[in-house]
A and B are shown apart, each in its own frame.
Chain A
Amino acid sequence: DAKTTQPPSMDCAEGRAANLPCNHSTISGNEYVYWYRQIHSQGPQYIIHGLKNNETNEMASLIITEDRKSSTLILPHATLRDTAVYYCIVRVAGGTSYGKLTFGQGTILTVHP
């Protein structure tokens, strides 16, 4: 699975959009970009994933650059409850790794009042 690089920490004001970047310059054509978050020692929570098109769900939007070497997770209206560690994970869907998720260090997002 491709390696990802994320900033160690970011701040955001409550009510503003939080834009979390992720670099994955060695991503392969069959690798997806996944985002999970972990709120203070709780179990990680799935947010969104995509292959090459931009994706949106009720939690967030995922913007993947055309060359797929980087992506941005957007929380449109951050709240204090969005304070968490956000993990960007790149992996092949299927293959011998099956469902294994490889977590990096992630980005600590702190949302301020």
Chain B
Amino acid sequence: DSGVTQTPKHLITATGQRVTLRCSPRSGDLSVYWYQQSLDQGLQFLIQYYNGEERAKGNILERFSAQQFPDLHSELNLSSLELGDSALYFCASSATLVADTQYFGPGTRLTVL
């Protein structure tokens, strides 16, 4: 158990819909990262927040957005969903902005039908 929690574990929705994935970092961790893992693209970094501010951005689609709240939990919002958005979405946290160790949550499996 990494101490990072993600909800929901599974999500099934239809194309065109919007969903919100939630992540609670380990106690005391200030950085939150989001990653997407699909069969054809592998594990890809989406975005990083540190203490409420966006700090690094990867190949995140404009239809996707994220935020980190004052209590440090984070949400990843995915809108206008397409079949290709079906993937595992992982959240990770670390103590600092550039910590060596990232602790990953169990992931949310999103299926878009």
Q: Does A77 contact B (CB under 8 A)?
A: no
Q: At the interface, yes or no: B43 with Cβ under 8 Å from chain A?
A: yes
- Interchain CA distance A49-B102 in the complex, whole Å: 12
Interface stretch, picked from A7-15, A58-66, A93-101, is A93-101
> Which of chain A's residues has its CB closest to B98's CB?
A94
**B94-112 interface code vs A (CB 8 A; 1 in, 0 out):** 1001111111111100000
Chain A 21-45 interface 0/1 with B at a Cβ cutoff of 8 Å (1 = within): 0000000000010100010011111
Taking the closest CB of chain B, its distance from the CB of A12, in whole angstroms, is 23
Secondary structure type dominating chain A contacts: loop
**Chain B residues touching A, range:** 20 to 34
CB contact under 8 A between A46 and B97, given known A97-B56, A100-B33, A100-B48: no
Contact of B106 among A43, A97, A102 (CB under 8 A): A43
Which one of B33, B88, B105, B106 contacts A99 once the chains associate, using CB atoms below 8 Å? B33
Q: How far is the CB of A50 from chain B (nearest CB, A)?
A: 10
Task: Identify A103's interface contact among B44, B48, B100, CB under 8 A.
Answer: B44
The yes or no answer to B4 lying at the interface (CB within 8 A) is yes
Q: Which of B88, B99, B102 has the most CB of A within 10 A?
A: B102
How many residues does chain A have at the interface if contact means C-beta atoms less than 8 Å apart? 23
Contact B98 A99 (CB under 8 A): yes
Name B101's closest neighbour in chain A (CB-CB): A46
B-to-A contact residues, CB < 8 Å: 2, 4, 31, 33, 35, 42-45, 48, 50, 55-56, 58, 88, 90, 92, 94, 97-107
A-B pairs, top 10 by smallest CB distance, nearest first, are A43-B104, A103-B43, A98-B56, A94-B98, A46-B101, A100-B45, A44-B104, A98-B55, A100-B56, A43-B90
11 A-B pairs besides A44-B104, A99-B33 with CB distance below 8 A are: A41-B88, A43-B2, A43-B104, A45-B2, A46-B101, A98-B31, A98-B50, A98-B55, A99-B56, A100-B56, A105-B42
